[in-house]
Structure 1
Amino acid sequence: MEWLQANYELTAFDTILVAATAFVAGLMRGFSGFGAALTIAPVLAVAVGPRAAIPAILFLMLATSAQLAPRAIRDVNWPTVVPLSVGGAIGILIGAWMLIVVDQELVKKSISVTVIFFAIVMLTGWRYRGSVGPLMSGFAGWLGGLISGVAAAGGPAVIIFLLAGPESAARNR
């Protein structure tokens, strides 16, 4: 904690707020299977800046997801996941580039707007009702990757797309 305070000029309150938000994000991830990045991104981006926060969040989400891979492999719907992953890989590179070149105050605001937008979409219960073929899967992956690269909040774009399909919640996670 001292390292955070020394390198980012955080007050004790800021440090406690980041730690408490990380705890809540972990609870969300544990209960729902997603949502941790969406929870912590706005707070951490304000506390340490988006250029430090977003890569740290993405690394942590990758590390926590990697331990789920061995069991999840058998449940993967490959025709959906392959284009989703290719689109996501392209989108995250563009998003990371945007994180570097776009004004940091604008990035902070975009993170907040993205989180609020997806919270409203999910609260209303809206569901995508269109095609869930490879092209749309690739686009959903690209959009999720783009948002993840710049705001670490791309999960809802992918989840909203996946909920349109016939798969179970366990398989979608």
Structure 2
Amino acid sequence: MIEPIQNLVQLTPVQMVLCVGVVFVAGMIRGFSGFALSALFMASAAAFIPPVELIPVCYILEVTASLIMFRGGLQDADMKIVWGLTIGSAIGNPMGLYATTSIPVELSKLIALFIILGLATAQLLRTSPQFLASTTGLYASGITAGVVSGLASVGGMVIALYVLARKVPPRTMRASLVMYLFIGMFTSIVYLLGFDVMNKLAISRGLFLAPLVAIGVLIGSRFFRPSLENIYKKFCLGLLIFLASAGLIRLIL
């Protein structure tokens, strides 16, 4: 029974088990925090699957998570923030893609991760710059996220950093991240189809892992309740610091 699935997804049994475990845990974290699914999966699975093959799989997993979390996100999100970040990101993304012709991707990713690490640590120590919480900061963060996403594919972390800097309830922070990622699905599919990255293998892998991420998201969402909302921001900032540090270590080594 396993062999037909193995042939379909073109992974060894060990790789299949690793993917299932990582996706399940990443799904739980996405369900609780509202982000980090793709970042965690990419960081773990890139050791045995080329990143270019992981991108469309991540898209299918994000679609699965977004559809499950859409209702709660729509109810609680600050849509002014969501649309501001989305518009800014759409403007900045082509700029980032264009800049890849003159700036080495590894260098840009290194700089972006250092900035994210520094700002996340500052927020954790409650010394976050007030600029991030302003209207100018809203659009600047969106454009920066788009540029960084085009250059180094870490734009989502910039968005999370901005949302966490707002003085709003944790429920609104989480919902705003959920809706930003939901809207982003519609622009992302254009790039994936345009560059012919979304192929049969990616769809097979995505559909194989989708039920696991769905279960993980449902479990993680159950943990997001009033008694745990007070640790939400610290958890997310710690998660950003971990992801940025892991990315820096991979680049340096």
TM-score normalised per structure 1: 0.69
Aligned to 1:73: 74
Mark the CA change 1:14 to 1:93 in structure 2 (over 3 Å): closer, same or farther: farther
Q: 1: distance between equivalents of 2:145 and 2:41?
A: 17
Q: 2: distance between equivalents of 1:146 and 1:59?
A: 23
Q: How far 1:15 sits from its partner (Å)? A: 2.7
Mark the CA change 1:40 to 1:98 in structure 2 (over 3 Å): closer, same or farther: farther
2:165 partner amino acid: A
- Kindly tell me the number of residue pairs found equivalent between the two proteins: 165
Moved more, 27-36 or 142-151: 142-151
1:68 partner amino acid: M
Runs of 4+ with deviation above 6 angstroms: 96-99
User: Is the 2:85–2:143 Cα contact (8 Å) retained in structure 1?
Assistant: yes
Q: How far 1:170 sits from its partner (Å)? A: 0.6
Q: 2: distance between equivalents of 1:117 and 1:15?
A: 34
Q: 2: distance between equivalents of 1:46 and 1:90?
A: 32
Mark the CA change 1:31 to 1:43 in structure 2 (over 3 Å): closer, same or farther: same
Mark the CA change 1:63 to 1:13 in structure 2 (over 3 Å): closer, same or farther: closer
Mark the CA change 1:119 to 1:145 in structure 2 (over 3 Å): closer, same or farther: same
Q: 2: distance between equivalents of 1:103 and 1:50?
A: 17
User: Is the 2:149–2:155 Cα contact (8 Å) retained in structure 1?
Assistant: yes
Q: How far 1:28 sits from its partner (Å)? A: 1.1
Q: 2: distance between equivalents of 1:17 and 1:150?
A: 29
Q: How far 1:96 sits from its partner (Å)? A: 6.7
Aligned to 2:144: 143
2:71 partner amino acid: P
Q: Which has the larger radius of gyration?
A: 2
Aligned to 1:4: 9
Q: Give unmatched runs, 5+ long, in structure 1.
A: none
Aligned to 2:23: 22
Aligned to 1:82: 83
User: Is the 1:141–1:158 Cα contact (8 Å) retained in structure 2?
Assistant: yes
Greater relative contact order (Cα 8 A, min sep 6): structure 1 or 2? Answer: 2
1:79 partner amino acid: K
1:144 partner amino acid: A
Identity of aligned residues (%): 23
Q: 2: distance between equivalents of 1:98 and 1:22?
A: 32
Listed one character per residue, the Cα deviations across residues 95-153 of structure 1 (whole Å, up to 9, x for unaligned) are: 67789xx999x59xx59x94x98578646725632222333212222333445556654
1:65 partner amino acid: S
Listed one character per residue, the Cα deviations across residues 47-66 of structure 1 (whole Å, up to 9, x for unaligned) are: 32122212321342134223
Mark the CA change 1:89 to 1:43 in structure 2 (over 3 Å): closer, same or farther: same
| 1:50 is the counterpart of 2:55 | no
Q: 2: distance between equivalents of 1:14 and 1:50?
A: 15
